[in-house]
Every structure is written in structure tokens, then in C-alpha cells.
Amino acid sequence: MKKKISKIFLCQSCGQEYARWAGKCESCGKWNTIVEESGGDRFSSTPSYKKSATYKEPVPIDSISSDNTKRLSSGLAELDLVLGGGFVPGSLILVGGEPGVGKSTLILEISRSMISQGKKILYISGEESSAQVGLRAARMNVLSKDLLLSSETYAENISAMVEDVSPDLVFVDSIQTLTREALPNQAGTVTQLRECTQVLLETSKRTGIPILMTGHITKDGAIAGPKVLEHLVDTVLYFEGDKLNYFRLLRAVKNRFGAVGDLAVFEMLESGLKEVTDRQRVFISSLTEGKSGSVISSVMEGSRALSVEVQALVSRTNYSQARRMAEGPDTRRLILLAAVIEKYLGHTLSECDIFGNLAGGLQIDEPALDLAICASILSSYTERPVQSGYAVIGEVGLSGEVRSVGQATLRLKELKGVGIETVYLPKGNLAEIEKIPGLELVGINSLRELEGLFR
């Protein structure tokens, strides 16, 4: 007879399961991350295939009421867009972000907006005491009897509470603080994260009430806990931003009910988070107008084009080996493009440190930004500012050739909207572009043809 195994061992870093303990995880290579978890009788030799009491008959898809898919607007237009048109009833949403980025503030901001539409909110805060949340709510002036606060951390109790209170929307801050009473593991362990997320998932599906939960991000940018958490939920949003400036970016990285990549921009004020609708103010700095090293370009964020400002600083190095560093664009791309400029335009950049940046704390790695990176390096190196009202888009190849980019018309329309009058772009794109009145287009094939861009 086969022996029944009732224990499993789980790597706390990657979630890999083992039948016995080991010092090193074969999957992620980390040491001392494998701990014993109670795994039930999953290795039982007598599996049961009988119908359970909760067995559900399949139903024809055209008999499902379309009312179920009626979305609940958050009242924040930018957030609704990222969600793909508002909260879908019964959906579970995960908002990941670094500590202190403003996840709890975002929750109160959404609450404020929903309450003003006459909605009822349940806010479960396992992370902070009610007094702490109350203090923030008072600062942000979100005090209302329609915002119910609880510091419950048992997942089962939360499920019962959601049913009792029957709110329009539930917030759980954060998933790492929840536990299932029956499990011996500490809050935040892989098993607890997975089990508690399952409880929330089941609760939202059963009651039809959307639940938004927050989750911490580890140093390398992943939501703490295994990827399995991201697989379980319907939507994953990342809340990010440069802590030194006041803008915060919210983007969807997974969405079962909408496009991914769309971006919402918020400004962190003492009174809370304010939606930013004039993005030009965030990503294009009026202070750098007429200064060398600054170039306007356009990137795609999901289905939308976004005008951005690429900045470069090229200065003579004091080290034996020149430094290259980029924040926003990819450093490897900056190194490669600097080498292309050196080889094909003959500038001795090897004696210079080069720093690249994107205004507004954006992190974007898109080939269409190549030409703007090259132009900003050239502008800073030659100390010649880019002409006022000019922008560039294009990918740069290893022999200095300028290659076509996708979605050129969308990008040009967005650039026109922020006051750009002339755009340098790949010649290959010229044929397919709709004519945009008031926008002059200069098609180029190589980096050498950028000369007319500078003053």
C-alpha cells in the first residue's frame, strides 16, 4: 500500500513544491528558502471523483445575463481607463507598489470619488490601525458614514463581513497581512497569500462585489509572493513613481477585462492624489525649453501615445573609463546608441560621461525612443539646443540607419496636441501617415540627416 503523505515543502521565494525538505531550491537556486507547509492530502492514493455538493451544471453562454458585466465607474476617469472602463462586478484587482508610494492614499481617493456617487465602501486595513487610517482620511477630508473601516485580518471573517455589509466596493490593504485561521503559517507566506487570495476571489465572484487589494513589491520589482498571486486575480495594476517628485503612475500589467499598458497619472498633494489630465505638464518640462540636451519624442503606453521629454548630459569624464547611466530609458540602449554615434558621426564620446533621463520619472524601453536619445546626446555634446517646436521619433539601427516605428499617426497627433510643429521621423513611415494640418514632417534615413534639428 502506498504511504499517504500529508506534508509538503514549499520554497518561500518561488513557490516550488517539494515532497521533502532540501537546503537549496532547484527552481530558483536560493538557499534556506524551503519550509514545511500543510498541504492536506494532495498526494493521497485514493482520489475521489464523486460529484461534490457544490457541483454546477454547465450553462449555454447566450443564457448568461449581460447585466453581470455592467461596470462600476470609480468616478476617476483615468483610473476607469486603466481598468478598461470601470470595476467589473465580481472582479478581484491587485494593486502592487513599493512601500510608501501611496497605495493607501489611492484607496482613500477612490473611496472619496465613489462616496460622492452615493456608494458604500468597506475598507479593511490590516496594515495600519484604524486611528492611522482615520488620520489620513481626516487629512484628505474623506470622512463619511458610507466609508466603513475594519482592521480584520482573518480571510474567513472578511468574507462574512463583505456579505453582511454588502458594500459596492471592498478594499483590502494589504493581502500580505491576511491569514486563514486554519493554517499555522505566518501572514505573508506563500501558502497564506495563495489561500487568502482564493478566499477573496471566491467572495468577490459569489457576491458580485469587486475587491481591490494592495500588495507589496520586492526590491526587484515583483509583487512579493510567487507569480501565482498574479495568475489568480483578474487585474494587476502597478502603482509607481519617483518618490522625489510628486507624480504617480498607475498602469495595468494584466487585465482580463481590458487592454494592458494604459497609464493613469496622479499628482501627490497634501489633500490626496489628484488625477492629472494635462500630461504635457508632467512629461515635458517647460524649464528645459531652449536648453541643450533636451528633446521631445512620443512613446506608446498601451493604446495611447504619450509625449515625453528625453534629456541627456554629456560631460568630459574624470575617470579612466567613461560612465554611462540612464534613468527612464534602458542603460544598455544608451551605451549602444552612444557607440553608434561615435562610429558613424565621428564624435569622440569615449572621453565623455553620458547620463540619460526621462522627465517625470517615466520608465520606458521602446525602440521608437532611439532617435530622441541620439538627438539629446548630440545636442548636449555639441551644446546646441533643439529648435523650438521640434520633436523626433524613430528607431536607430547599428549602422546609424533610422528605421520605421509602429503607430506613427497616433504619435504625431499626440505631438501636435502638445504644440509640436515639426517632426523628424523615419522616411519609411512617411508613406503610410495621414496628413495632419499644421504639422511639418521631415523624413530621414540616417543619423547624419539630424543636422537641421539643432539651432
Ligand X SMILES: Nc1ncnc2c1ncn2[C@@H]1O[C@H](COP(=O)(O)OP(=O)(O)OP(=O)(O)O)[C@@H](O)[C@H]1O
Task: Tell me which residues touch ligand X (CB under 6 A).
Answer: 97, 99-105, 127, 268, 270
The residue among 95 and 444 lying less far from Mg ion, judged by its C-beta, is 95
Question: Which grid cell is 406?
Answer: 509602429
Q: Is 99 annotated as a binding residue?
A: yes
3 state DSSP class of 304: strand
Binding partner selected for residue 102 from Mg ion, ligand X, none, CB under the kind-specific 5 to 8 Å limit: ligand X
Confirm if 155 and 180 have CB atoms less than 8 A apart: yes
CA neighbor of 94 nearest in space, from 81, 84, 103, 85: 103
Q: How distant, in Å, are the alpha carbons of 39, 41, 331, 419 from that of 230?
A: 21, 25, 28, 40
3 state DSSP class of 67: helix
Q: How many angstroms from the chain centroid is the CA of residue 240? A: 7
- What residue has cell string 521621423? 425
Binding partner selected for residue 105 from ligand X, Mg ion, none, CB under the kind-specific 5 to 8 Å limit: ligand X
The residue among 146 and 242 lying less far from ligand X, judged by its C-beta, is 242
DSSP letter, residue 1: -
Distance CA 307, CA 404 (A): 18
- What residue has cell string 486611528? 131
Least distance CB 78 / Mg ion (angstroms): 21
Binding partner selected for residue 188 from ligand X, Mg ion, none, CB under the kind-specific 5 to 8 Å limit: none
Binding partner selected for residue 100 from Mg ion, ligand X, none, CB under the kind-specific 5 to 8 Å limit: ligand X
The residue among 23 and 100 lying less far from ligand X, judged by its C-beta, is 100
Q: Is 102 annotated as a binding residue?
A: yes
Least distance CB 173 / Mg ion (angstroms): 6
Pure H helices in 8-149: 77-83, 103-115, 130-139
Least distance CB 75 / ligand X (angstroms): 19
The residue among 233 and 273 lying less far from ligand X, judged by its C-beta, is 273
Binding partner selected for residue 270 from Mg ion, ligand X, none, CB under the kind-specific 5 to 8 Å limit: ligand X
Binding partner selected for residue 101 from ligand X, Mg ion, none, CB under the kind-specific 5 to 8 Å limit: ligand X
The residue among 107 and 369 lying less far from ligand X, judged by its C-beta, is 107
Strand partners for 346 = none
Binding partner selected for residue 307 from Mg ion, ligand X, none, CB under the kind-specific 5 to 8 Å limit: none
Beta-carbon contacts of residue 240 (< 8 Å; ≥ 6 apart): 97, 98, 101, 248, 249, 250, 251, 363
Distance CA 187, CA 179 (A): 5
The residue among 74 and 104 lying less far from Mg ion, judged by its C-beta, is 104
Least distance CB 216 / ligand X (angstroms): 6
Least distance CB 365 / ligand X (angstroms): 25
Least distance CB 104 / ligand X (angstroms): 3
- What residue has cell string 502592487? 96
Distance CA 327, CA 438 (A): 33
Q: Is 204 annotated as a binding residue?
A: no
Binding partner selected for residue 97 from Mg ion, ligand X, none, CB under the kind-specific 5 to 8 Å limit: ligand X
Closest residue to Mg ion: CB criterion: 104
Least distance CB 136 / ligand X (angstroms): 7
Binding partner selected for residue 356 from ligand X, Mg ion, none, CB under the kind-specific 5 to 8 Å limit: none
Q: H or E element: which one contains 337?
A: helix 331-345
Least distance CB 175 / ligand X (angstroms): 12
Q: Is 98 annotated as a binding residue?
A: yes
Beta-carbon contacts of residue 118 (< 8 Å; ≥ 6 apart): 146
Least distance CB 17 / Mg ion (angstroms): 31
Q: Is 78 annotated as a binding residue?
A: no
The residue among 164 and 270 lying less far from ligand X, judged by its C-beta, is 270
The residue among 242 and 421 lying less far from ligand X, judged by its C-beta, is 242
Pure H helices in 57-97: 77-83
Q: How distant, in Å, are the alpha carbons of 288, 350, 365 from that of 378?
A: 16, 14, 20
The residue among 107 and 161 lying less far from Mg ion, judged by its C-beta, is 107
What would the 3-class secondary structure string for 88-122 be? CCCCEEEEEECCCCCHHHHHHHHHHHHHCCCCCEE
Binding site for Mg ion (CB under 5 A): 104
Q: Is 215 annotated as a binding residue?
A: no
Q: Is 97 annotated as a binding residue?
A: yes
Q: Which residues are annotated as a binding site?
A: 97-104
Which residues define the annotated binding site for ATP? 97-104
